[in-house]
Structure 1
């Protein structure tokens, strides 16, 4: 049995894909912007043969770093989780191996009209928090308001085109004005409402499929897990003579 692996080692040694997210990926970075890193690691197969399973996600080890285990990441992406879907489309890739490249080749398999429900549901929750801030403090958290506008525009454009593009492009300056508190809250609210209505209008005729391609994603997961298990046999049991009788040949 392989020794235990720390969460930090899983991220350090088994990451298949990592990227920069947040303002830097969205085209909204300024001099004071943080560098938010997101990644996907593949826990080695032997870790699942224990009673204690590997973590589904790891915070750190660096500041502003968060990683998902592959299966959890795929599960969330199939549910059209906005943060996870956008992670697959970052223009700022920092680490990528052959499994990560196949993951990125599956980006289209996760996109469906389900994104309308999940993006808008997330936006509604965030908008309620902003409205509560206005009631309590007289103003929202402007940075959060900026990112909510960005998310709603991203959702609308995804439903219209069938493609997920996370860079804000020509909207950069308008959105940064919101972040700086230079746009009155009623105007920001009106902008949010318009974007949500445009997303609703785009949903029925969207070129996106009704559901994600779960079978294609599951095939990728099964093949990846099998390869990890076979690699374990190759590196450990063959050296010990455990599979000398043809166990690997029977796979």
Structure 2
């Protein structure tokens, strides 16, 4: 993550099954984070990468601007970083980012979560044998989206529904029942009252991002 100077990881959390309360002994530990590239590195032809894999397995770190752009679109995984209680790194700027959660939330999540769900179900059912883990996570996404739109709260803790969802993951629930469950959730989402604004607070997020760039520049200036 070096592009014209040292980059700083401002936030790193565990997401995935461990954050949802759905982990089993076989579950990977998925880490997602955010780094802030030095402001001066954007003045060069070679820009900082929008994301970086590793160094740990199943670890991905987004540059803060790219993270914000994805979050404003309602990207499910990005938003989970802002609410996961499995926090491994959180600087003062990282805490500011997590405090911006409500600025990211809007009705756009209905589209982004539906798109993610449709992709997962398509991959899960394209083979002769369903990929039950993906089926489970598609249902989980729909459940999170339903709650978010109806209450305005992004709740990723699924322990209350753990048994039902793990039964899906283990293949105990017929695929037809899983797809019918997904359809019911979609119906609920379409009918749910909207407790989030139509659009995210892009101005607030952008102003914060500019402040990060300005502070980062000041921090690397030579007195």
Q: TM-score range by the shorter chain?
A: over 0.9
* Secondary structure at the counterpart of residue 132 of structure 1: coil
CA distance in 1, matches of 2:131, 2:109: 25
- CA shift for structure 1 position 49: 2.1
Report the structure number with the largest CA radius of gyration.
1
Q: Look up the match of 2:216.
A: 228
- CA shift for structure 1 position 46: 2.1
- CA shift for structure 1 position 48: 1.5
- CA shift for structure 1 position 129: 2.3
1:64 aligns with 2:54: no
Equivalent residues, number = 222
Q: Look up the match of 1:20.
A: 14
Task: Identify, as 1 or 2, the structure richer in helix.
Answer: 1
Q: Which runs of 5+ in 1 are unaligned?
A: 239-251
Q: Which runs of 5+ in 2 are unaligned?
A: none
- Give runs of aligned pairs for residues 120-199 of structure 1, distance below 5 A: 120-133=114-127, 137=128, 139-199=129-189
1:49 aligns with 2:43: yes
Q: Look up the match of 1:216.
A: 204
- CA shift for structure 1 position 207: 1.3
Cα RMSD after superposing both structures = 1.5
- CA shift for structure 1 position 147: 0.6
1:68-90 deviation digits (Å, cap 9, x = unpaired) = 00000000001111111122111
Of the structure 1 ranges 93-102 and 114-123, higher mean CA displacement relative to structure 2 is found in 114-123
8 Å contact kept, 2:82–2:98: yes
TM-score (normalised: structure 1) = 0.85
